[in-house]
Amino acid sequence: MTRTEVLVIGAGPAGIAAATAAAENGRQVIVLDDNLNAGGQIWRGATVEKAGSSHQGNAAKRRAMTRLQQSGAQVLGGRCVFSVEASGTLQTLQETGSDSLVEQFQFDQLILATGARERFLPFPGWTLAGVFGAGGLQALVKGGYPVAGKRVIVAGTGPLLLAVAAHLAQDGAAVSSVLEQATLAQLAPFATSLWANPAKLVQGARYRGKLWKTPYRTGSWIIEAIAGSDGRKLGAVRVTNGTRTWEEPCDLLACGYHLVPNTEIAALLGCTFRGAFVQVDDAQRTSLPNVFCAGEPTGIAGLEAAMVQGEIAGLSCAGLIGTSLQKRAVVERAFARRMEKAFSLRPELRSLPRADTIVCRCEDVAFGSLHGRTSWTDAKLQTRCGMGPCQGRTCGPAVEYLLGWRPVSVRQPLFPVPLQAFCSHDERVEINQLKEKV
């Protein structure tokens, strides 16, 4: 059992800001993240970057990482939280090679900075090789996946699309088009509101400037991914704007329908929710007095909001009040509401999957298998939808949008944990020896 005053789950921008603020103000802080390095998705590889990488030079990232390292907060990577109790204990799984280790942590205060993940909506052909999530392909490229010279289409919805497309183009990809399902009428008020936030306006303009040769088609969406000559890999996509349909050849498709918050731990703890998001007060405190939450789980609002909320949570754990930060947080929450309205999903997307389209990839459950089912629980019992390794993290948001079913419960462990991880060292040695004999 490792004990600390403040335990932060998540080492993305919100978690980094929270841990730094708490540690700089005298609190003992441990940060847990399932990735080996801090940074989260947006600052992936924040501590180790390739020489000459096109992603170097992010001043905000460098400042945040430097402050974190100097604050005294301890960052433990490769730890997946699978069990947590509001009374002040949690368990993590650490996998090292062929071995698995369960660790226990005890805390006085807990900060949830668990971020968000992409929403995937199934359509015919979305399981073909070459079809990626938008953020997923970006993460692979940051890790060294080559896209130079490949024809790439970026599609779905949300401001992430432009950012992903710009980064892919910077790494040599031939981005042939960006397809945004939201209409120009939806986006216009949001774009106009950016004049009140010059930093975001400049950032968007910078991304668009890197893609000045690439068409940005609003009110357009993918209806099918088409296999190439080998029958297994992506060769083209079928696109519609509601009035006409056409095909565009491509080697890779990066497709994502905005983000959904990672709120499983908050739900397991019993925190109060506001719709799909964790409800917090001005101090980022949840309905539980010793649990705080910052970043995307409280509302999808982007990097600046995550860092502001994280700092507020860290200061709150140290008994301090960041009044000016709270005012900034209010502004960022208003931005989040405008963004949510601008990129709301069109109803036509509900008719994309055919009966044979796979919805749950872990358990190979086709959309037609869900017909006649009455709820998420009924679907799980009858088809095993959502019962695979991802525990519904991928198919859950899709099914919620397509059929209106919401998961009714979150149970521990939050993901599959090998029984070997609960064994003593001697028992694990014996198990490994038996494996070798077999």
Structure-token pair, residue 312: 């507020």
Among 37-51, 225-239, 325-339, name the one with the lowest average pLDDT. Answer: 37-51
Instruction: Check residue 197 and give its pLDDT.
Output: 80
| Residues of the chain above pLDDT 90, percent | 76
**In the predicted structure, residue 57 carries a pLDDT above the cut 60:** no
Instruction: Check residue 99 and give its pLDDT.
Output: 78
Instruction: Check residue 437 and give its pLDDT.
Output: 79
The span from the CA of 135 to the CA of 238, in Å, is 21
Instruction: Check residue 204 and give its pLDDT.
Output: 85
Strands 365-366 vs 131-132: parallel, antiparallel or unpaired: unpaired
- 242-251 mean pLDDT: 97
- In order of 44, 228, 361, 397, the CA distances from 121 in angstroms are 24, 22, 12, 8
State the DSSP string of 103-117: EEEEEEEEEE---EE
The span from the CA of 375 to the CA of 209, in Å, is 46
For residue 42, give the 3-state DSSP assignment: coil
The span from the CA of 195 to the CA of 163, in Å, is 19
Which residues touch 225 (CB under 8 Å, ≥6 apart)? 123, 124, 125, 126, 128, 130, 131, 234, 236, 237, 238, 253
Mean pLDDT over the full length of the chain: 92
The span from the CA of 162 to the CA of 302, in Å, is 14
Instruction: Check residue 399 and give its pLDDT.
Output: 95
Q: Hey, which of 48-52, 67-71, 98-102, 188-192 has the most confident mean pLDDT?
A: 67-71
More confident residue, 206 or 30: 30
Instruction: Check residue 306 and give its pLDDT.
Output: 96
Half-sphere exposure of 142 (CA within 13 A, CB side): 22
Instruction: Check residue 145 and give its pLDDT.
Output: 95
Structure-token pair, residue 130: 């070459």
Q: Which residue has 């216009």 as its token pair?
A: 188
More confident residue, 28 or 142: 28
Instruction: Check residue 48 and give its pLDDT.
Output: 38
pTM: 0.91
Other Cβ atoms less than 10 A from the Cβ of 392: the count is: 21
Hey, what amino acid is at 427? E
Q: For residue 45, what pLDDT band results from cuts at 50, 70 and 90?
A: low
Among 47-51, 125-129, 234-238, name the one with the lowest average pLDDT. Answer: 47-51
Tens digits of per-residue pLDDT, 59-108?
888 999 999 999 999 999 999 999 999 899 999 999 877 778 899 999 99
- 234-248 mean pLDDT: 97
**In the predicted structure, residue 259 carries a pLDDT above the cut 80:** yes
The span from the CA of 5 to the CA of 302, in Å, is 28
More confident residue, 246 or 411: 246
Q: For residue 56, what pLDDT band results from cuts at 50, 70 and 90?
A: very low
- 125-130 mean pLDDT: 97
The span from the CA of 34 to the CA of 98, in Å, is 17
Which structural domains are found in the chain, ordered by start? 2-117+260-321 (3.50.50.60), 120-257 (3.50.50.60), 353-403 (no CATH)
The torsion defined by the Cα of 330, 336, 337 and 339, in degrees rounded to 10, comes to 150
